Structures are given as structure tokens and as C-alpha cells.
Amino acid sequence: MTAELELDDIQHFLLARTPARAARYEFLTFADAEAGRRWLAGIIDKVGTGASVGSDSPDARWVTVGFTWSGLRVLGVGDASLASFPDEFREGLASRAAIVGLTGANAPDHWDVGLTSPDLHAIAILFARDGAERDRAAREHARYLAETSGVRLLSFLDLEAISAEPREHFGYRDRLSEVPIEGMTRAPIPGSGRPIKAGEFFLGYADESGVVPALPQPAELTRNGSYVAYLRMQEHVGAFRDFLRAQGATQEAQELVAAKMMGRWRSGAPLVLAPDSDDPALGADLQRTNDFNYAEMDPHGYRCPVGAHIRRMNQRDDGESQERHRMIRRGGTYGPALPPDAAEDGVDRGIAAFIGGASLTRQFEFTMNVWVNDPSFGNLTNERDPLIGTHDGTHDMTFPKRPVRKKISGLPAFTTVRAGAYFFLPGVRALRTLAGASTPARRLA
């Protein structure tokens, strides 16, 4: 096995962000293997690869295709092969929700109907430059589904950017960092760390342990593939704004609380580099806004609290074995923005994200369990991630400060998980194998 990334075979999804500002996630079910293979055979040529995603051509293909474990089974993958996949993928996120802290209002009992069912077999992600192009692509796929008997749309989600620059509904600037991958030619953003071994994200390559992990069998089905965890997270924007107003009498005080919770000002400027006031120019400069560390520049969290969201999700030089837990995040916003002066209107809005890598357990599940939802993370007491952790009004957040720290008690939930699932993204050659296997139970046993 060569260490050189096979960019013409790896789906583009985790390799690079597209210039898309809109997308549709379509969740599908197959009546039988023949129907699933027929649908797949007709869509493969639209799937983008790492070799083509950088193209500016209007014909650039930005479709991504993934399957659940039950979807692979329906496609006819044999029992021996299915059993070689890791337990967490076979069981699915809904069955393991409590392990990662998705309890209470975040539990699967409250998720989208259909996404917790074994009838969820596949996802097709349709990226587009804007909403109009997304709608055109959705209509084209709807016509294709109508012509392909035995494949049914369980549900879909439309996404679209809510501002000219990447921002989520709470107002924080997004897409500020990118995990560098060994074998990619683009230079890492300053502060993003050294390139991570490709095997941490794609099957069939050496990972940070220095070895190539065993592949689920057969290798032709899994080499160049990745696992992704899907989460749809509703953001309670009105509740967030009310909370900030309760914490600060002035706009400046409220913005500081928002920055302490995230670890960045809403402009994207990091607290480590801009501890006292916002610096929008710094936040917008990708060559500077990630160029900091914690162990040397802010060991006690006086600038960026230890429990802040970005410090939990990437501890940089202040944690152990960081490279084994790095993940690639993709996704975007759904739902309309809540106007600045409006009260909570009950409209569902938020982020629908995919967290990808080579190990759901070591990457996604570890991060959710230990970094996001463990109350004792970083030697803290009774704290969870202030923005995406599971909250019920009983957890706190501490802002270290001399001479007296500030503590916020009874943090409410600002987000609620509404859907989740595990998918496998095969390489393009594997997609062709799945689509063309006349007797896949024999060929892919």
C-alpha cells in the first residue's frame, strides 16, 4: 500500500471544502439490492473526487454518497464482510447515543423520524453554488428517483449560507480552521499544526501510530473510504441572546461573555490573541487567526477559558495525543436567520454537520464523551461544552480571572440535537463495485 493519496478515488468530501453556499442532504431507503445498485450506478459519475473538487468549471461534480451499515447489507454485501466493520458503525449512532452524552432532550427519542430506523440506507449530499442551483439539482435528482423504482426519499434537509461570510446562527464566524493532511499539496494554515497522517481520515493508509490498520473486508470495498457522524443541531438563538443580556448590562459585556464561551469573538478573533477587545481584521485573516497556542500563551485560561468550545475541541499544545483525535468537520447552516432585534420565533434553525475520520470511536465518540460532555474535562468541575454540550440547567462555566474568577451557574441548553447517524463513504472504485455486483453477496463476502 502506497502512502500517496489516491485523490482520483477518494470522495472529495473530507479532502477539501467546495465553494458551495448551499446544499441538500437527502436520506434514502432501498426496497432491495437491485434498486439500490440501479440508483447508485446512475449517480456515480456525479460524485466528486479529491482530484476534481478544486475545479471552477460549472460542471464540477460536488455530489457525495454514503451508506449506513444496513444500507450496505441491503445492497447485498455478505455477512462476513459486514461483520468485519467496527461495532460502532454496525450499531449506529442512535444505539450509542448515551455513550457520547446525547441524553435528555438530545436523545434519539426526539430525533427526526426515519433517521433512527434501519430503513435509512444511504445519503446523497448535493452541493451547489447557491440556493437556485441547489433547487435545480434537487429537481434533477427527484426526476431520477421517479425513474428509479424501489428507491424512496425518507427525508431531506436544505442548507444555505445566511451571510456573505461564513457564519452560524449565533453569529460566530465559521470555517476558520482546516486540519492539514499529510500528502496534500496545500500549505497548512499557520497555527493548524503539522500535517496529520492520512490514515487518521482515510482507510488503507498509515495513521499516527505508524501502521496501516486492518481494513474491513474485502479491501476493494473499503480502501480510500471514511466514516462520518452526522448531527443536526438546532440552535436556540433567542435563548442565547436572552442569556447574554442577563449576563451583561452593556453590549461590550455581552460580547465578552459570548467570546469566553466560544474562545473567539464573533468576528473570529481568538481570545488568546485579542483578550480585551474584538479585532475583526485578525478574525478575518486566516494567516493569523489560528497562530496561537495555550500551554505557553494562556496556560491558566485567563484569556481563553479551559472550558471554552474551541479549547475543548482542539487543545493544541495543551493536551495529549491530539493527533489521534483530530477530525474533519463539514456542514453548514439550515433555516432562516433570526433578525437581530427579534424574539424567539419557534422556527427550526441551526447547523447540520458531518464529523469525519477513520475511527468513529477514537475520534467522534471520544470527542463527544470526553471533550464535550465530561463534566470534569480539563480538571474542571460540573462543566460541559457551553455551546454544544448536553445541558439541563445543572452545569456551570468558569471564567478564570485574577483575583476572583467568574462562575456562571445553571447554564441552559443553547443547542438541541435533532438527528444523527453514522455513514461510510466508500471510494469511487468501491462505489462502482457496489453498483455493478450482480451477485454481491458472493463477490463481497
Per-residue pLDDT at 96: 98
For the stretch 201-208, contacts whose Cβ atoms lie closer than 8 Å and that sit 24 or more positions apart, written own/partner, are 201/14, 201/226, 201/328, 201/356, 201/357, 201/358, 202/5, 202/10, 202/14, 202/226, 202/358, 203/358, 204/1, 205/1, 205/3, 205/5, 206/3, 207/324, 207/358, 208/323, 208/324
For 334-351, the pLDDT digits (tens) are 999 999 989 889 999 999
Q: In the block, which residue shows the cell 438541541?
A: 416
Helix, strand, coil % over all residues of the chain, rounded to 5: 30, 20, 50
Name the domain count of the chain. Answer: 1
Q: Which three cell numbers stand for residue 39?
A: 440508483
Residue 199 three-state SS: helix
Which band of pLDDT confidence, cut at 50, 70 and 90, is reported for residue 155? Answer: very high
- How many other CB atoms sit within 10 Å of the CB of residue 227? 24
Which band of pLDDT confidence, cut at 50, 70 and 90, is reported for residue 401? Answer: confident
> How many whole angstroms separate alpha carbon 297 and alpha carbon 175?
23
Determine the length of the chain.
445
Q: Is residue 112 part of a domain?
A: yes
Q: How far is CA 154 from CA 114, 142, 179, 249, 387, in A?
A: 6, 12, 33, 47, 30
Closest by CA to 81, choosing from 199, 221, 205, 213, is 221
Per-residue pLDDT at 3: 64
| Predicted confidence (pLDDT) at residue 98 exceeds the cutoff of 60 | yes
Q: Is residue 334 part of a domain?
A: no
Q: What percent of the chain has pLDDT over 90?
A: 87
- How many other CB atoms sit within 10 Å of the CB of residue 192? 19
Q: Which three cell numbers stand for residue 297?
A: 500563551
| Predicted confidence (pLDDT) at residue 442 exceeds the cutoff of 50 | no
Omega cis (within 30) before 213: no
Q: At what angle do helices 33-43 and 131-147 cross, to 10 degrees?
A: 140
Average pLDDT, the chain: 93
Which band of pLDDT confidence, cut at 50, 70 and 90, is reported for residue 18? Answer: confident
> How many whole angstroms separate alpha carbon 214 and alpha carbon 196?
19
For 49-93, the pLDDT digits (tens) are 988 765 555 545 589 999 999 999 999 999 999 999 999 999 999
Q: At what angle do helices 251-262 and 237-247 cross, to 10 degrees?
A: 120
Q: Is residue 251 part of a domain?
A: no
The stretch 124-149 carries a mean pLDDT of 95
Which band of pLDDT confidence, cut at 50, 70 and 90, is reported for residue 443? Answer: very low
Residue 178: in which H helix or E strand, if any? none
Alpha carbon dihedral 87, 89, 95, 101, in 10-degree steps, equals: 100
Q: Is residue 439 part of a domain?
A: yes
Per-residue pLDDT at 321: 78
Range of the domain at 148: 12-232+424-443
Residues 6+ apart with CB under 8 A from 439: 76
Closest by CA to 358, choosing from 7, 4, 10, is 10
Q: What is the DSSP secondary-structure string of 384-424?
A: --TTTS--SS--BEEE--SSS-EEE-SPPPSEEEEEEEEEE
Per-residue pLDDT at 2: 42
Q: Is residue 312 part of a domain?
A: no
The stretch 152-167 carries a mean pLDDT of 96
> How many whole angstroms separate alpha carbon 430 and alpha carbon 441?
15
| Predicted confidence (pLDDT) at residue 1 exceeds the cutoff of 80 | no
Which band of pLDDT confidence, cut at 50, 70 and 90, is reported for residue 440? Answer: very low
Q: Is residue 306 part of a domain?
A: no
For 255-308, the pLDDT digits (tens) are 999 999 999 999 999 999 999 999 999 999 999 999 999 999 999 999 999 999
Burial letters 289-327, b for 16+ CB under 10 A, else e:
bbbbebeebbeebebbbbbbbbbbbbbbebeeeeebbbb
Residues 6+ apart with CB under 8 A from 209: 324
Per-residue pLDDT at 8: 94
What are the phi and psi torsion angles at 417 (to 5°)?
A: -75, 125
- The amino acid sitting at 345 is D
Closest by CA to 358, choosing from 86, 49, 79, is 86
Q: Is residue 148 part of a domain?
A: yes
Q: Is residue 250 part of a domain?
A: no
> How many whole angstroms separate alpha carbon 432 and alpha carbon 131?
30
Q: How far is CA 182 from CA 4, 67, 219, 291, 436, in A?
A: 9, 26, 22, 19, 32
Closest by CA to 21, choosing from 332, 352, 266, is 332
Per-residue pLDDT at 53: 65
Instruction: Give 437 or 324, the one with higher predicted confidence.
Output: 324
For 409-433, the pLDDT digits (tens) are 999 999 999 999 999 999 999 999 9
For 201-228, the pLDDT digits (tens) are 999 999 999 999 999 999 999 999 999 9
Backbone Cα Rg of the chain? 22
- How many other CB atoms sit within 10 Å of the CB of residue 38? 17
Q: What is the pTM of this model?
A: 0.95
